[in-house]
Amino acid sequence: MMELWDLTLIFFVASASTYGNVLHQETDVHYAVSYFNNIHTSKLQAPKGILQETAIKEDANDGNPSNQNTETNNMHSPKSLSSEGTMFQFKFSEWKGSDIFDKDGNCSVVIGCTDLYHSDSCLVCRCSKNSTISIIADCSNANLDQVPTQLPSSISHLLLAYNRLNSSSLYPGVFDKYTDLEVLQLDSNNITTLADGVFRGLYKLERLNVYNNSIAMDSNLNKSRVFAPLNGSLVYLVMNRNNPNTSNPNLVYPDYALSLLTNLKTLYIDGLRGKRFGPLFGLLKNLTKLVISGYDQGYCFLESLHNDTFKYLVHLKHLNISDCGLNGSLVESSAFAPLNKLKVLDLTNNFYLGLEAIGNLMYGLRNSQTLRRLKIQRVVPRFSPCILILSKTLRYFRNMSLENIEAMDNEIEMIEFGALKMLPATLKTVNLTNNKIMFGAYWKNMGELVSLENLHLDGFFKPVQFPLVFPDSSFKCVSPPEGYGSFPNNGCICNDNSCSENQTDFMLPLPPKLRNVTMHSNSMAYIINNITFCSNNSLEYVDVSSNHFQTLQGPVMGLEHLKVLNMSSCFIETIGDTFFDNLTSLEHLNLYQNLLGDCLNADLKGQIFDKLTYLESINISFNNLYRLNRNAFGSMENLLALDLSINRLSHANFSITHMKRLQFIDLHRNEIASLPEVIRSHISWLLSRGVNVTIDMRQNPIECDCGNLDFLQWVVDTKVFGNNYSYYYCKFPIANAQALEMKNGYDEQVAMLSYSCEKHIIMFLSVAGGTLLMVLVLIAALIYRFRWTLRYWYHAAKIKISSTREVDVKDFKYDVFVSYANSDIDFILQELIPKLKERGIKVLVHGEKFKVGRYITDNIYKAVVKSRKTLIVITKHMLDSHWCRYELQMAKMQSVATGRDVLAFLILEDIPSSKLGPEVLAHMKSSTYIIYPKLPQHKGAFWDKLADDLRSS
Ligand SMILES: *[C@@H]1O[C@H](CO)[C@@H](O)[C@H](O)[C@H]1NC(C)=O
Ligand SMILES: *[C@@H]1O[C@H](CO)[C@@H](O)[C@H](O)[C@H]1NC(C)=O
Ligand SMILES: *[C@@H]1O[C@H](CO)[C@@H](O)[C@H](O)[C@H]1NC(C)=O
Ligand SMILES: *[C@@H]1O[C@H](CO)[C@@H](O)[C@H](O)[C@H]1NC(C)=O
Ligand SMILES: *[C@@H]1O[C@H](CO)[C@@H](O)[C@H](O)[C@H]1NC(C)=O
């Protein structure tokens, strides 16, 4: 008997602990595996994607040669025809206008030859009809050394780029026939001179392009009247990339030759070192755009700008002198002074110009009311240290009406305090992308930029340091100019420990009309505590993605108009409950690729987002989310799109029932097997109201078994997954079964399952019915057999839970708990208790100290536990008492559980052992028992013995 009890217990304890271990290991392994799976898949998939792309590219390449083949075939076919003597079935001379065009307005390939006897000179011109008046003959890239003369005379565009035309192919009158030409492209040929009369008859020509030839801008060109026929028509002339040696002293800007083009509006020309644009440019009253750009556009090496360089270009609106090797020390401050209609000035990529020289150059434009846009990207040498924007640099800006400054890639680190006040009040957009601008006292002047709407401080190629504290130790100017001032709180942008005092002083002013700020990828690393922005701001859009904001403590105050916040890829681990509390206008929140798994798991009350009532989209994709709380999105009644993709969620247990406008839930790449009924019915309800809801559950282990049939049926009925089922899987409940991609949707699976599950149920009912019965009988038998164990454990557990500490007390309150039948009360009260008390034994009797309101069984358990021993007074009455037997069992269990011998028996009267019953007998056998003596003279010794027994534990 004893062994059995022990065994049961040992088994129970052992199995419980191993079960626990197994559970632990399993979950750990599961997490580890899924964690690595995630990494794995993301790592594996990238190269796969690339592979696929290259495969596609190869395909495309495969396609290209074949395309080329067809073209060459086309090109070659006339040759083969010619050898057979059946050449030119189609004759241009016989061509009557519209025949070659199909009804869509395109025409088939027009084949012609310049020379009947040399099939090499066969050419391909593709012609197309762009509109009713434009007929485009595209003969570019056709290896032509002659201008084709057989084309229809009505063509309006003749494209001859990338051929081998040279000066002798361009003889006077060569285009005579094409009097309707509006556009002529001769770029990338081998033209060295333009003879007078080449453009004879082209009195409609508007655009001429001779880019990338070798037409020298020498005195011969300037003397020529080659452009005379185009006077009054030509608007657009591209003649740059013709003079590689821009320092050749014999070259001049051909002001006489060009002055014949009185209608010219746009001119692209090479930039000659040290040369001026001559007085005859003054005749070009319509010339508004001049591009003198080097590098990949043309040839330009100006180096210097003089007060009279642009003296006669007074009508210019756009001037582009990018990539012209301008040298800051060689530019004169009045160079732009004549340009009093200038709107756009592009000084980009003049690495040796420098900000200071630009400041000086603005002298000439200081009162310009036309200049709107200044492009000064890359105007300092690469890697120059300590590029500063000084008040002095900006001294001529104040009265201009600039709206847009593009000053990217200038290594700018700091702006002098007060400098921003020098900027014009008209400024709307400043792009300072990829500089190294730090926070500084100049932020105090931000309010001065009264019109600024867009500010771009992004980083791209190199990390930019925004130090936590300004000025910080990494600020290594040799001699920092005076006037940089210091920020309140030592310049902390956030009040970390180093500057926690006087937090309220830390207010960031913003330009009052600023709507759009981007500061992505510039290595900001902050714990964002409470920041207050001065309240008269209009900030709507903030992109601070790809920075390092591990903790967002908040609250952020003052951004009452903020609608879009992008904090993706910011390594955010923690978001405080109040961070978003004051950003109540937020409509779009992007938290893609952060580390919010633990934070959102711990957000039990859904406090993080609880003020974002107007949110329309939230992206928490790629955040290692593994569990969301029911009310994680509790307040988002206006949400349209919820993106939780690429996480480790296994259940969709968050509530969406308040989202009345929801259109899209992205759950792809999670570990979700099914959607719960609440979510399904809400979506069905939305669908029934005409809201077009879709769910993306690609790459989830969707279970295809009878238990999930409801869900699958719902998916089929509602079509919430859309039409494309690539990457949708079926996971089968069979061990090691491969997940199967459901390219054609779940319809088949549902049909199969509904059939087999029905059969299943009938089988289940018949087989399981029998089994169940057997199991029930077995359980009943077991329960009966182990009823005391169960009861004991039940009470033990119950009391342990309710009052753990009481039970844990080691020393006993009583030496003995006496269990007796009520009929024996006289003996107990008159003899047993007094006799034992005399001997210093603390006695507890059944019913004496039992707590009112507690179940009697609980009381017995407690009494047993609180006493060193339980003394069972065996009488005939006792054997009939239900509670006594219960007490006996409890004591027995306590002995087993604690390993102490708890029980003692006092046999008060003679009872035949047959009457005791096997249970009591068994207990008595393994415990001490003492028989009450009949003779009075033995009684003293008896009580002594009993007291001793009870004292020993
Ligand atoms: C054809 O016409 C479209 C507008 O209709 C225009 O954008 C395009 O530049 C034209 N193509 C050519 C080669 O002129
Ligand atoms: C360009 O013309 C020059 C002489 O005019 C000749 O030497 C050269 O080979 C030609 N280049 C091409 C690509 O035809
Ligand atoms: C300048 O262009 C306008 C049309 O834009 C034209 O009317 C005017 O005649 C042109 N001026 C000259 C001097 O050709
Ligand atoms: C160019 O103009 C500036 C300002 O008007 C003047 O100071 C400078 O002397 C001029 N340079 C020359 C070479 O005339
Ligand atoms: C700012 O300049 C960068 C670099 O040229 C450019 O990529 C970016 O689009 C610009 N930003 C805006 C908003 O115009």
Residue bearing the bigger pLDDT, 492 or 269: 269
pLDDT at residue 899, rounded to an integer:
63
Instruction: Find the 309 Cα to ligand 3 centroid distance in Å.
Output: 25
The residue with tokens 């903020």 is 562
- Ligand 4: atom nearest CA of 337 is 5
Q: Whose CA is nearest to atom 3 of ligand 1?
A: 130
pTM: 0.66
Q: What are phi and psi of 362, to 5 degrees?
A: -70, -10
Write out the two tokens for 51.
């592979």
At 550, give phi and psi (nearest 5°).
-60, -40
pLDDT digits (tens, 9 = 90+) for 607-633: 999 999 999 999 999 999 999 999 999
Query: Which ligand 3 atom minimizes the distance to the CA of 232?
Result: 14
What tokens were used for 268? 């692209």
Task: Please tell me the number of the ligand nearest to residue 331's CA.
Answer: 4
Residue nearest to atom 10 of ligand 3 (CA): 263
Instruction: Say if ligand 3 is within 6 A of residue 263 CB.
Output: yes
Atom of ligand 1 nearest to the CA of 130: 1
What is the C-alpha to C-alpha distance for residues 836 and 818, in angstroms, rounded to an integer?
Answer: 11
631 lines ligand 2 (CB under 6 A): no
Q: Which atom of ligand 3 is nearest to the CA of 262?
A: 14
**Least reliable range by pLDDT among 105-109, 160-164, 358-362:** 105-109
Q: Is 214 in the pocket of ligand 2 (CB under 6 A)?
A: no
Which residue did the predictor score with more confidence, 388 or 918?
A: 388
Q: In sequence order, what are the beta bridge partners of 138? A: 126, 159
Q: What is the per-residue pLDDT for 66?
A: 32
Pocket flag, ligand 3, residue 80 (CB < 6 Å): no
More confident: 14 or 356: 356
pLDDT, tens only, 142-163: 888 889 887 778 889 999 999 9
Q: Which residue has the tokens 């017995």?
A: 860
Q: How far is CA 693 from the centre of its chain?
A: 22
User: How do residues 186-211 score in pLDDT, each as one tens digit?
Assistant: 999 999 999 999 999 999 999 999 99
Residue 45: both structure tokens together: 């998939």
Find the range with the poorest average confidence among 383-397, 667-681, 791-805: 791-805
Of ligand 4's atoms, which has the minimum distance to the CA of residue 332? 1
| pLDDT range class, residue 929, cuts 50, 70, 90 | confident
Containing 903, the helix (H) or strand (E) segment is strand 903-907
Q: Say which range, 446-450, 658-662, 706-710, 910-914, has the weakest mean pLDDT.
A: 910-914
Locate the ligand 3 atom nearest the alpha carbon of residue 285 and give its number: 13
Residue nearest to atom 6 of ligand 3 (CA): 263
Element housing 320 (H / E): strand 318-320
Q: Give residue 121 CA to ligand 2 midpoint distance, Å.
A: 17
Shortest-distance atom of ligand 1 to CA 159: 13
Q: What is the pLDDT of residues 569-600, one digit of tens each?
A: 999 999 999 999 999 999 999 999 999 999 99
User: What is the CB < 6 Å shell around ligand 5?
Assistant: 408, 431, 433, 456
Tell me the best of 145, 165, 166 to mutate to test the pocket of ligand 2, counting ligand atoms within 8 Å of each CB and taking the most. 166
pLDDT tens, residue by residue, 276-303: 999 999 999 999 999 999 988 899 999 9
Q: Is 262 close to ligand 3, i.e. is its CB under 6 Å away?
A: yes
The verdict on the CB of residue 167 being under 6 Å from ligand 2 is no
What's the 330 CA to ligand 1 centre distance in angstroms?
43
Cα(190) to ligand 2 centroid in Å equals 6
Dihedrals phi, psi of 326, to nearest 5 degrees: -65, 140
Q: Any idea which ligand is nearest the CA of 378?
A: 5
Give the CA distances from residue 758 to residues 283, 710, 747, 754, 761, in Å, rounded to whole numbers and listed in that order.
93, 13, 17, 6, 5
The whole-number average pLDDT for the span 534-546 is 91
As beta bridge partners, residue 845 has: 818
Ligand 1 centroid from CA 365, angstroms: 37
Q: Is the Cβ atom of 304 under 6 angstroms away from ligand 4?
A: no
Q: Helices 677-688 and 709-718, interaxial angle, to 10°?
A: 20
From the CA of 266, the nearest ligand is: 3
Whether ligand 4 lies within 6 angstroms of the CB of 334 is answered as yes
- Determine if residue 759 is left, alpha or beta; phi over 0 gives left, psi from -120 to 50 gives alpha, anything else beta: alpha
pLDDT value at residue 541: 97
Quote the pLDDT of residue 896. 65
Closest C-alpha residue for ligand 4 atom 4: 334
Residue identifier of the C-alpha nearest atom 7 of ligand 5: 433
Distances (CA, A) of 66 to 107, 125, 322: 22, 20, 41
Distance 286 CA to ligand 3 centre (A): 6
* Ligand 4 pocket residue status of 333, Cβ below 6 Å: yes
**pLDDT score for 452:** 97
Residue with tokens 């890829």: 569
The structure tokens listed for 165 are 């035309």
Using CA atoms, how far apart are residues 458 and 413, in angstroms rounded to an integer?
A: 13
Report which ligand 1 atom has the smallest distance to the Cα of 136. Answer: 13
- Distance (Å, whole) CA 784 – CA 776: 12
- The alpha carbon of 458 and the centre of ligand 3 are apart by a number of angstroms equal to 43
Instruction: Tell me the per-residue pLDDT of 824-846, one tens digit each, with 9 for 90 and over.
Output: 878 888 888 888 888 888 888 86
Question: Looking at the CA of 127, which ligand is closest?
Answer: 1
Tell me how far the alpha carbon of residue 232 lies from the centroid of ligand 3, in angstroms. 8
Structure confidence at residue 599 (pLDDT): 95
If you measure from the C-alpha of residue 130 to the centroid of ligand 1, how many angstroms do you get, rounded to a whole number?
A: 6
CA of 379 to the centre of ligand 4 (A): 23
| 118 Cα: distance to centroid of ligand 2 (angstroms) | 21
Partnered with residue 345 across adjacent β-strands are 319, 374
Q: What is the mean pLDDT of the chain?
A: 79
The residue among 847, 796, 806, 798 whose CA lies nearest residue 824 is 847
From 104, 129, 130, mutation site for ligand 1 pocket: most ligand atoms within 8 A of C-beta = 130
pLDDT value for 941: 86
Residue 563 has pLDDT above 50, yes or no: yes
Q: Quick check: 789 and 8 in contact, CB under 8 A?
A: yes
Quote the ligand 3 centre to 145 CA distance (angstroms).
36
What is the rounded distance in angstroms from the CA atom of residue 192 to the CA atom of residue 215? 4
Query: Is 231 a pocket residue for ligand 3 (Cβ < 6 Å)?
Result: no
Given pLDDT bands bounded at 50, 70 and 90, which one contains residue 54?
Answer: very low
Nearest CA to ligand 1 atom 13: 136
pLDDT for 807 beyond 70: no
Q: List the single range of 449-458, 647-656, 811-820 with lowest mean pLDDT.
A: 811-820
3-state secondary structure of 601: helix
Q: State the pairing for strand pair 454-456/531-533.
A: unpaired
Which two structure tokens, joined as six digits, stand for 500?
């926690």
Q: Is the CB of 164 under 6 A from ligand 2?
A: yes
The CA 333 to ligand 4 mean position distance, Å, reads: 7
- Residue 822's contacts (CB-CB under 8 Å, 6 or more residues apart) are 877, 881
Rg (CA), the chain: 47
More confident residue, 71 or 519: 519
Q: Which two tokens stand for residue 522?
A: 């510039």
Reply yes or no on whether the pLDDT at 489 is more than 50.
no
Interval between CA 230 and ligand 3 midpoint (Å): 14
Per-residue model confidence (pLDDT) at position 565 = 98
Query: Would you state the pLDDT for residue 804?
Result: 44
The residue whose two tokens read 């003649």 is 239
> What is the DSSP code (8-state) at residue 276?
-
How far, in Å, is the centroid of ligand 4 from the Cα of 311?
Answer: 13
Name which residue sits closest to atom 10 of ligand 2, judged by CA.
190
Q: Which atom of ligand 4 is nearest to the CA of 334?
A: 2
Residues with CB under 6 A from ligand 1: 130-131, 134, 136, 157
Q: Distance between CA atoms of 401 and 403, rounded to whole angstroms?
A: 6
**What's the whole-number mean pLDDT along residues 127-155?**
81
Query: Is the confidence at residue 476, as pLDDT, over 50?
Result: no
| Residue nearest atom 11 of ligand 2, based on CA coordinates | 190
User: Terminus-to-terminus CA distance in the chain, angstroms?
Assistant: 23
Q: Name every residue whose Cβ is closer than 8 Å to that of residue 676 and which is 6 or more positions away in sequence.
A: 651, 652, 653
Ligand 4 centroid to 398 CA: how many Å? 21
235 Cα: distance to centroid of ligand 3 (angstroms): 10
Angle, in degrees to the nearest 10, between helices 787-802 and 2-83: 80
Give the list of residues 6+ apart from residue 855 with CB closer than 8 angstroms, or none. none
User: What does the pLDDT read at residue 458?
Assistant: 86
Q: For residue 516, which atom of ligand 5 is closest to its CA? A: 13
- Residue 542's nearest CA partner among 459, 465, 458, 485 is 458
105: left (phi over 0), alpha (psi -120 to 50) or beta: left
Of 305, 309, 331, 333, the one to substitute when testing ligand 4's pocket (max ligand atoms within 8 A of C-beta) is 333
pLDDT tens, residue by residue, 302-342: 999 999 999 999 999 999 999 999 999 999 999 999 999 99
pLDDT band at 883 (very low <50, low <70, confident <90, very high): low
How far is residue 379's CA from residue 357's CA, in Å, rounded to a whole number? 10
* Residue 127: per-residue pLDDT: 75
* Of the candidates 200, 191, 250, the residue with the CA atom closest to the CA atom of residue 230: 200
Better-predicted residue by pLDDT, 940 or 737: 940
Residue type, 893: M
Integer Cα distance of 698 and 743 in angstroms: 11
CA dist 515 → 261, 455, 497, 518 (Å): 45, 8, 31, 10
Q: Ligand 2 center to residue 80 CA distance, Å?
A: 30
Within 10 angstroms of residue 666's Cβ, the number of other Cβ atoms is 20
Tell me the C-alpha to C-alpha distance, in Å, between residue 63 and each of 55, 70, 134. 12, 11, 31
Provide the pLDDT for residue 341: 96
Task: Give the number of residues written for the chain.
Answer: 953
Give the pLDDT of residue 949.
81
For 848-858, the pLDDT digits (tens) are 655 554 555 66
User: What amino acid is encoded at 845 in this protein?
Assistant: V
> What pLDDT, on a 0 to 100 scale, did the predictor assign at position 840?
85
Q: Which ligand is nearest to the CA of 332?
A: 4
Question: What burial class does residue 290 get, using C-beta atoms within 10 Å of its C-beta: 0-12 exposed, 13-18 middle, 19+ buried?
Answer: buried
